[in-house]
Amino acid sequence: MPKVKMKRTGFVIDMTPLVDITFLLLTFFMFTAKFKSDADNEQKFQIKRPKSAADTSKLPEKDVAVIKIALDSTKVADTAYYYSVSNPELWNLVKEDPSLSEWLTPARKELSKSQIKTIKVDELEALVKATRTQSKAFNAMKKSKAEQASLKFAVDADRRVRFKWIADVMEVMRRSRQTQFNFVTDKEQ
């Protein structure tokens, strides 16, 4: 054997490009990461959304009133509406609306900080109507046009619920003169 194997002891790799790209990815994921909000922590259910073909319209993060229809994880048969508004200021205004004072007692308000649970359709209708009036008043307070935003309504229902629940919501929307709303779905993989 003429060739003597040279031992490569203590060789160094330049890690700078690796670190560069890793930091880039890290910052990207750090900025896109969204953590669970208080509202998500409070709720005991998880909504399994129905899947639909990929669309470009995404659920807005603000200026949206969401009606969730979910099955409680503790009892499968226990379906209920969960109502919430994304803007905290508007949400507080809605909860203080005089038209709701009859059934939305302080005790119940305490129970439902971020979303109101109800199984009664007329309570849901009162909430939708109160939101519409408060939203208009809220927008009127804003000075510039840019600050005003039209509130969207979204129905976020579990795929296992009966259509009756959806039909009731659609009737509520019709009676509240909120003819446009959205169904929340997940993207089909």
Q: Which residues bind other proteins (CB under 8 A)?
A: 12, 15-16, 18-19, 22-23, 25-26, 29-30, 32-35, 49-59, 69, 154-167, 170, 173-175, 177, 179-187
Distance (Å) of CA 186 to CA 54, 150, 155, 163, 174: 8, 24, 13, 18, 25
Residues with Cβ within 8 Å of residue 32, at least 6 apart in sequence: none
Q: Which is nearer to other proteins, 145 or 177 (CB)?
A: 177
Q: Which is nearer to other proteins, 35 or 77 (CB)?
A: 35
Q: Which is nearer to other proteins, 3 or 164 (CB)?
A: 164
Q: Which is nearer to other proteins, 69 or 104 (CB)?
A: 69
Q: What is the spatial distance between Cα 187 and Cα 32, in angstroms, rounded to a whole number? A: 19
Residues with Cβ within 8 Å of residue 158, at least 6 apart in sequence: 45, 47, 48, 49, 69, 70, 71, 79
Q: Which residue has the tokens 């709701």?
A: 100
Q: Which is nearer to other proteins, 23 or 103 (CB)?
A: 23
Helix (H) or strand (E) run with residue 13 in it: none
Task: For Cα atoms 174, 93, 107, give the angle at the middle one, nearest 5 degrees.
Answer: 100
